Structure 1
Amino acid sequence: MPGRSPRHSKAIHISTSRGRKFMFRDQFRGAGWLTLAITSSVFATTASAQQTEPDVPQAKASGTTLGDIVVTAQRREQRADDVGVTINVLSGDDLKAAGTQSIVDLAAVTPNVQIKNVMANSITNVSIRGIGLNDYAVNNNPAAGIYVDNVYLVSPAMLTFGFYDVDRIEILKGPQGDLYGRNTTAGAVNIISRKPSSVIDIRLEAGLGSYESWHLDGAIGGALTSTLNARFALQTIQQGSGPQTNYVTGNRIGKVDRTNGRLQLQWEASDAITMLLNLHKGYDRSDTALYKADNVLTTEEDAYADQPRVAGAGTDPRMELESAGASLTVNWTLAPRLSLTSISAYEHFTRLHAEDTDGTSLVFLDGTYDDRIDQYSQELRLAYDADDLKLIGGAFYSRDKVQAHDEFYALDLLPLLGLAGLDTIGNNYRQRTDAYAAFMHGEWTVAPRLTLVGGLRYTEERKTFDQATTFLCAAGTCNDLFAPVSNRYSTSNISGKIGLNYKAGDRTLIYASVSRGFKSGGFQGQLSFDPSVLQPFDDEKLTAYEVGIKTRVAPNLQVNAAVFDYEYSDAQIYGPLFDSPIGVLFGIANVGNARVKGAEADAWWRPAAGLDIRAGIGFIDTEVTKSVVAGVMKGSVLPNSPRLTLNGLAKYQWAVSDRVDADIVLSGKYQSRVRFDIVRSPSEAVEGGYFVGNAEVGVSVDDHWRASLWCKNIFDRLYRTQALNTSVGWTRQYGDPRTVGVNISYRY
C-alpha cells in the first residue's frame, strides 16, 4: 500500500526545559547504491509516456525502436518532442510497473518532485522544483495546479484519491501562466482517465498483500449504440491491519477501506459535435495514521522511543472522506481549422478526520476536522489550427465554498495554559472564492525550423472569509474568544510566457522560455487567539527562465534535459510565525523572496527487444534571498527541496514459449538530505538522504492473463516522510516498511 505521511504542525508552541532531538543520519552508503539507483531504478520521467498504441507490452514492440510519446499538455495532441515544456508523462502501465497507487507515489517516479501528506493521510502537498504548499488548512490552494480529467481541484484535501483506470499522467514543470486555470507557480499535474471507445475493452485485476490487504480493479468499455460509447471503472482497496501499533489500545493501525467508481458516456451527436459525460463518486473510511511523538509534557512514550512504528493514541483515529462530481466536455468543430471546447464541472467533497496529535494516552491534542467543499467551474476554449499558426484562446470561471470546523479536545493541556475548567479549543470559518480568467496561447512558425511561442492570461480572484472565530468549550458549552471575523481579499494578475522552439532535426527540439505564474493570496485557516492574525496574505509570484533539449539520439534512445533559474517573490510559507502571549502560533504568511536554480535530465534506452532502461536525475539549489519575518533566516533552503533526486525503472520481458512471456521490473528512488520546515530553522526537521527500491516478477499468458509477485521497499529502509512541531513537541512519521503481494490481471 502507498506510504503514509503526516500532517504539518499546528496550534501552540510551549517552551520547556525538557527537549530531545531525534536526528537521522544519511544512510545512503557507497557508490554501489548510487550505481543501482541510476542504472536500474531511476524512472523515466519525460520520456516515460503514452505511446501511439498505449498499453502495448514493450516486448511486443517492433525491434528496439521506441514509440512516439503523445501528450495534451498544451490542450491539443502533440508529439512530446514538439512541446517546448519540461513534461514528465507516465502511462497507466508505467504507473503499475512502478507500483504507483496514489498521487503521493508520483514523487518516486519523477525527478525534482516531492509529494507528501502534510496532515496524517488526508492533506497532500505537491512540491515541484522546491515550490509547494506546506499548509494543512483546507482553504488554501495547491501551488501546483492539480487537474483530474481537465477539472481543477481547489483544495489539498481533495488530493488523497487512489489511481485507477488511468490512461496517463502529465507533470508540467514550472509556472503554467497561460493555459492553466489557477495557482501554478510550481507547475501542473494532469491526471487523465481512459476514455470510452467503440472497441470492447475489459480490464480486471485482483491482488493480495501485506497487512491483510486486498484490492479489486475493474473497467469495461465499448459501444452501446453506433453513436454512444461507455466506460465504467471501479476500484476497491481493503486492508485489515497496518505497520503501526497503538501502544495504548494494543491495536494495529493502518486499516484501509477505500472505494471509487467512475462512469463515462461519450456521444457523437454529429460529425462535428462530441460530448463526454464523466460521473464519479468515492469514499475513504480508513485509519488515520498515528503520530510518533517526542512529547515534552510527559515521559509516557519514552518506553517506545526506539520503536518508530509504535505510537500512542487515546482511541484509534479514523477518517471519513467522501467525494462526488460530474463534468461535461463538449467538442464542436465549427470549421475545418476551428473548434470550440466547453468543460463544465461540479465537485462535492466532505471530510471528517479524527486524530490524536500528541501521540499519547493523555488528552493534550485530540483533533477533529469537519470540512465541506463545493466547487463549480466552467471553461470555454476556441482553437485555430493552421500549418504555421496555432491559437488557443478562451475564458475560465470557477466558484468554490469551503466550510471548516476544527476542534481539539485538550482536557489535560488547557489547564497548563491557565485555562482550567475548559476541555476543548477550536476554530470555525467559511471561505467563498470567485475566479475569472481570459487567456490566449499561440505558436507561430516564423521559419521552417523556428517557432515563436507566446501566451497571456488575465486572472481576477475575489475571496470572502467570514464566520471565522476561535472558541473554547467546557462540558459541551462553547464560547467564542472574539466576534466572528469577516474579511475580503481580491487580486488581479497578468501571467504568461514567451519562448522559442528550434527544430534542430526531425527528432530534436531545442527550446528556451521565460514564463511567469502566480498563486493567489488568501486567509490562513489555522487556530488563532488574535483576530488581527486573520488578515489576508498576498499573492506569491514566480518568474522562470528555462532552456532545454529533447532529442531522439538513436531509434532506441531518447534523451531530454533542461536547466532553469527561478525568481520567487513574496513566498507563502507555513510555520510557527506568529507570536502571542501564550507562545508561538502557527499560520501562513509571505516571508520574502527566494531563488531556485537547477537542472534535470532523463533517458529512455531500449538496447534490446524487451529490455527498457529509463533513468532520470534532478538537481536543485534553493535559497531565501530576502526575509521579512523573524522566523525565516536569509540563506535558508526552501522546504521539501532535496538537492539531488534519482528515480527510475528497468524492465526486461522475454518469451518463455509461444504463449507465455515473463518479465522482471526493478524500480526505485534516491533523494538527498531534505528539510521539512525552515521556520526558526529546527534541526529536528532535517532528514538525511535515502534510497527505496522496488521489484516485481510477472508471467503473462496469451497477452490476456498476467500473474505477478511484487515487493515495495525491498531493503526495508527506515525513513521519515515528515517532522512537525506541535503544542506538545515534535512528532514524526515514517514511510511504509517492506511490503509484498501478488496480483492477477486479465485484459480483453
Structure 2
Amino acid sequence: MKRRFNGTQVIGAALAGVIGGVSLAGAGRAVAADAAEGGIPEIIVTAQRREQSVQDVGLSVSVLSGADLAAHHVNSVNDLQNLTPGLEVINAFGGGQPQFRIRGVGFNDYASNNTPTVGIYVDEVAYPLPIMTQGLIYDVDRVEVLRGPQGVLYGRNTTGGAINILTAEPTDVVSAGITGDYGSYNASKIEAFVSGPVSGTVKVRLSATTQQGGAWQTNRVTGQDLGNANRSAVRAKIDWAATPDTDVKLNLHYGRDLSDGSGAYVFNPIAQATGLTVKADTDPSKTGWGLSPAFARLIGADPSSKPFRNNSSGGADLTIEHRFEDFKLTSITAWEALNRKEFNDWDGTAYHDADEYFNSRAQDVSQEVRLSSTAPGKLQWVGGLYYAHETLREAFLSDFTDNYGFIANTRYHQTAESIAGFGQLDYAATDRLKVTLGLREEHEDRTLYDFTTSTIPYVGLGVGTASVPTGFTQTTGKVGVEYKISDPVLLYANISRGVKSGGFTAYNTLALSGLKPFAPEVLWAYEAGVKSDLLDHTLRLNASAYYYDYHNQQVQSVVIDQVYGAIGKIVNAPRSEIYGAELEAQWAPAHTGLLFTQGLGLSHGEYKEFKAVNTAASLATCYPCTAVYSDLSGQELGFPRITYNGSASYDWKLPGYSLTAEADYSYRGNLRSSLGSTYNVRGYWLANASVTLKPEQGPWTATVYGQNLFDKRYDLTRNFFTNADIAIPGRPATWGIRLGYLY
C-alpha cells in the first residue's frame, strides 16, 4: 500500500477535520484512513531530492501531513515543536526572532542577522534569516523534519537539521474548499483555496488565509488586552507543462502581520531607580508596557501603542524541470523579502527599562541548479550548484531611559554571499546493501557595514566602524550505509559533517571588541538507527542513537573591555558533545479504526572545553577591567533532556455519519539555563482533544476541540533584560469549533 501526498487529498482531509495523532514516521490521520483497511501505508517523501518511502530513507526524519497541521492548529513553524521529538522553536524574549534547536543543536540570538542551525525551506527555497520564517503556514501538503547536519543535498549548510515545508500543488480537476475556526478569546481563522486546470497545459492554485483575535494577556494596571492576531497571507501557484518533458512552476506569495506582540510577566520584584518596586506577578497572563514620548517619536509610533508588529513579507520562485532520457535537470530561481517594524517591551512593565524596536529590511536572491538520475540501476546520483546573496539593513533601538538615562540607537548594513557545489551518490552493492557518499564544497563572504551604536541624548558613549568582514571555505559531507534485513526492516548508519556560518554580534555594543566576528561552528554527527514495519504493516517502530562532536559551538556570552566592562557577545566554545536516542512508534490495528502514536527523545550535552568570562569576577577588577575566566568543562548545555509526545484516536461508523475522537499529549523536560538556576524552565505536560463529525456522503465537517485541556501554567522561556527577571508564558486552556466545506 502506498500513499503519496497531494493537495486535494491533504486539503480534503484537513477540511474533513480528520484529527491526526502526532506523525512520527508517517502521516497522522492520513495514515489512519487506510489503516482501518489493513495497516499503515507507505508515505512518499522527497527528503533526499527524489521520491522515496519514508521507511526507505536511511536517516532520522519525521513527517507531518496537512491534516496533522490543521488538527493541531499549526499556524507557524514555531508550533511544530510539540509535534516532533527533539525540536524546539522558542522566540527570543517572546519577540519575533525564533531560536531553532534540534537534538540540542541550536543558536540563541535576538538579533536578526545570523543564520540558524536549522535550515527552513518552503517549496525547496531556503529562508536564510530566522526572522524570515515567521509567516503563516497554510495550504500545506506536508512538513518533513530532518535531524542532523544537512548540506549535501540542500542549498544551505546547517549543523542541526532542516525543516522542509511543501505546500499543496495545483490539481488536475477543479476543486475548492474553505474552513472556518472560532475559539476562546475571540480567536478566528479562515483558510480557503481554489485549484484546477485553466487550459490543456496550465494548472493554477490560489490559496489564502487570515487569522484574527486571541488576546489572552492583559495589562496588570489598565486591564487592556494584548495578543490579538491580525495576520493574512495569499499564494498563487501556476504550473505550465511547456513541453512533454519540460515543466515550469511559478510560486508567488505575500503575507502581512499587524498583530500585537507577546507580553512578559515579572517573576521577581523589580527595584526601580526611582525607589519604587514592581511586584512579582502571580498570574502569568498579566504583563505591562509603556512608550516614552521621546521613544515614540523616534520610532514613529503613538505613545499609547501596545507592543506591535507591522511586518510584510513576499517572494517569487520559478522552478524549471526538464527530463532527459536518464536524468533530470532542475533550476530554482528565488527572491524573498521581509520588511519588519516591531516594538517589544522586554521588561514587562510600564517603565522604560528595556523597550525594543526593530526596523529591518531583508532580502535574499538564490539560484540552484541540479542534475539527478532517473533511470533505474544500482547507481543513483544527485549533483548541483547553489548561489545566494542576502542583504539586511536594520535599526535596533532600545529605550533604557529609566535605567541608564538614554536611548541606544544601533544601525548597520550586512551582506552575505555564498556559493557551493554539492552531490550525493547512492550505490546498491546488493539487493539489500546500499552505500551513500555525499560531498559539499562551500565558500561564503559575510560583511558588516557602517555599524554604529550611539545614545540619545549623547552621554559620551558609542562606537562605529566602516566594515568588518568574515567568511569561510569548508568541505563537508556524509558517508552512510543501509542494510535491509528484510523488506520491512532497514538498518542504517551515517557519519556526517556540517557547518554553520560565522557572523557578528549586531546588537547594542559600546566597544569595537564586541564586533569581532565569531567563527563558524562545525559538527561531526555519528548516527545509527532502525526502521521497521511489523505485524503486517500495522506496527511501525523506528529508533535511532547518535553522538555529536561539536567544535566552535556558537554561544551567548560576554567579553571584557578595559573601559566599558562586560559587553554581550556571541563567542565560540572550542568543544562540546551531545548524545542521545529517539524512539518512534505507530500502531494501527487492522479494521479497528484505532491509531496510536508515541515519540520519545532522550539527549544530553555538555561542554568538553570552554573557558568563559566570569562577569562578576571580571567587573571586580575594574578600572581598567581585566577578563577573569571560569572553566565550564562538564557543564550541561541548555536544552531539555527529555521530549515526549503521543496520541490516540478512534473512528466510529454511525448511520450515515462517521465520528472521530482524538487525544494527544506532549511533555518537554526541564530546561537548564546557562544564566543560572533562576532562569531554569520547569518541564511541563500539555494535553489536547477533539471530536469530529462528518456525513458519509456530504462535503461538510464539524470539529469541536480543546487545547491545553487542564489549563497548565508553563513558561516557554525565562530570561532577564537590564534589571527585570521576566518569563514568556504559554497559552492557557482554549476551546473552539472548526467547520469545513470541500467542493
Q: Is TM-score (shorter-chain normalized) higher than 0.5? A: yes
Bigger relative contact order, structure 1 or 2, given CA contacts below 8 A and separation 6+?
1
Letter in 2 for 1:444: Y
Letter in 2 for 1:615: Q
Contact 1:42/1:669 (8 A) holds in 2: no
1:321 aligns with 2:341: no
Contact 2:89/2:99 (8 A) holds in 1: yes
Distance change in 2, residues 1:45/1:207 (3 Å): closer
Distance change in 2, residues 1:481/1:213 (3 Å): same
Tell me which moved more, 519-528 or 58-67: 58-67
Per-residue deviation, 1:403: 0.9
Q: Residue 699 of structure 1 corresponds to which residue in structure 2?
A: 693
Q: Residue 363 of structure 2 corresponds to which residue in structure 1?
A: 374
Q: Residue 332 of structure 1 corresponds to which residue in structure 2?
A: 322
Contact 2:361/2:394 (8 A) holds in 1: yes
Per-residue deviation, 1:295: 5.7
| 1:47 paired residue among 25, 28, 31 | 25
In structure 2, what is the Cα distance between the partners aligned to 1:522 and 1:694?
A: 40
Q: Residue 262 of structure 1 corresponds to which residue in structure 2?
A: 235
Distance change in 2, residues 1:405/1:209 (3 Å): same
Q: Residue 285 of structure 2 corresponds to which residue in structure 1?
A: 309
Contact 2:521/2:554 (8 A) holds in 1: yes
Per-residue deviation, 1:301: 6.4
The two structures, once aligned, show a CA RMSD in angstroms of 2.0
Q: Residue 431 of structure 1 corresponds to which residue in structure 2?
A: 414
Task: Give the 3-state SS of the residue equivalent to 1:674 in structure 2.
Answer: coil
**What is the 5 A alignment of 1:613-628?**
613-628=596-611
**What is the 5 A alignment of 1:495-574?**
495-554=476-535, 555-574=537-556
Q: Residue 73 of structure 2 corresponds to which residue in structure 1?
A: 99
Distance change in 2, residues 1:186/1:57 (3 Å): closer
CA deviations 1:427-470 (Å, max 9, x no partner) are: 11111000100011110011121111110000100011111010
In structure 1, what is the Cα distance between the partners aligned to 2:677 and 2:31?
A: 47
In structure 2, what is the Cα distance between the partners aligned to 1:105 and 1:576?
A: 31
**What is the 5 A alignment of 1:278-293?**
278-293=251-266
Q: Residue 649 of structure 2 corresponds to which residue in structure 1?
A: 651
Tell me which moved more, 614-623 or 577-586: 577-586
Per-residue deviation, 1:351: 0.7
Contact 1:720/1:734 (8 A) holds in 2: yes
Letter in 2 for 1:656: L
Contact 1:124/1:156 (8 A) holds in 2: yes
| 2:386 paired residue among 385, 390, 396 | 396
Tell me which moved more, 95-104 or 276-285: 95-104
Q: Residue 229 of structure 1 corresponds to which residue in structure 2?
A: 203
In structure 1, what is the Cα distance between the partners aligned to 2:519 and 2:338?
A: 27
Tell me which moved more, 247-256 or 373-382: 247-256
Q: Residue 110 of structure 1 corresponds to which residue in structure 2?
A: 84
Q: Residue 665 of structure 2 corresponds to which residue in structure 1?
A: 668
CA deviations 1:572-609 (Å, max 9, x no partner) are: 01244555755533221112311111000111111243
Distance change in 2, residues 1:615/1:324 (3 Å): same
Task: Give the 3-state SS of the residue equivalent to 1:412 in structure 2.
Answer: helix
**What is the 5 A alignment of 1:40-79?**
44-49=22-27, 58-59=32-33, 63-79=37-53
Task: Give the 3-state SS of the residue equivalent to 2:162 in structure 1.
Answer: strand
Per-residue deviation, 1:255: 1.0
Per-residue deviation, 1:368: 0.9
Q: Residue 464 of structure 1 corresponds to which residue in structure 2?
A: 447
CA deviations 1:101-150 (Å, max 9, x no partner) are: 22111111111111111142411111000001111111000101110110
Task: Give the 3-state SS of the residue equivalent to 1:63 in structure 2.
Answer: helix
Letter in 2 for 1:207: D
Per-residue deviation, 1:266: 0.3
| 1:725 paired residue among 720, 724, 729 | 720
Distance change in 2, residues 1:212/1:696 (3 Å): same
CA deviations 1:669-716 (Å, max 9, x no partner) are: 1121112x31xx411221222100011111012252110111111011
Task: Give the 3-state SS of the residue equivalent to 1:58 in structure 2.
Answer: helix
Contact 1:44/1:602 (8 A) holds in 2: no
| 1:593 paired residue among 543, 551, 575 | 575
CA deviations 1:251-273 (Å, max 9, x no partner) are: 01111100011000000011100
Q: Residue 166 of structure 1 corresponds to which residue in structure 2?
A: 140
In structure 2, what is the Cα distance between the partners aligned to 1:242 and 1:709?
A: 20
What is the aligned length?
A: 688
Contact 2:20/2:68 (8 A) holds in 1: no
Q: Residue 20 of structure 1 corresponds to which residue in structure 2?
A: none
TM-score (norm 1): 0.89
In structure 2, what is the Cα distance between the partners aligned to 1:58 and 1:236?
A: 29
Contact 1:42/1:614 (8 A) holds in 2: no
Contact 1:248/1:360 (8 A) holds in 2: no
Distance change in 2, residues 1:304/1:310 (3 Å): farther
Task: Give the 3-state SS of the residue equivalent to 2:137 in structure 1.
Answer: coil
Contact 1:435/1:462 (8 A) holds in 2: yes
Q: Residue 346 of structure 1 corresponds to which residue in structure 2?
A: 335
Contact 2:93/2:728 (8 A) holds in 1: no
Q: Residue 215 of structure 1 corresponds to which residue in structure 2?
A: 189
Contact 1:511/1:549 (8 A) holds in 2: yes
Distance change in 2, residues 1:579/1:357 (3 Å): farther
In structure 1, what is the Cα distance between the partners aligned to 2:540 and 2:51?
A: 20
CA deviations 1:374-429 (Å, max 9, x no partner) are: 100000010113311101001000000011101112222224xxxxxxx3112111
Letter in 1 for 2:409: G
Contact 2:557/2:612 (8 A) holds in 1: no
Per-residue deviation, 1:365: 2.1
Per-residue deviation, 1:177: 3.0
Distance change in 2, residues 1:46/1:304 (3 Å): closer
Contact 2:520/2:552 (8 A) holds in 1: yes
Identity across matched positions, percent? 33
Per-residue deviation, 1:525: 1.3
| Structure 2 residue ranges without an equivalent (≥5) | 1-18, 291-303, 615-630
Distance change in 2, residues 1:60/1:494 (3 Å): closer
Contact 2:170/2:204 (8 A) holds in 1: yes
Moved over 6 A (4+): 477-480
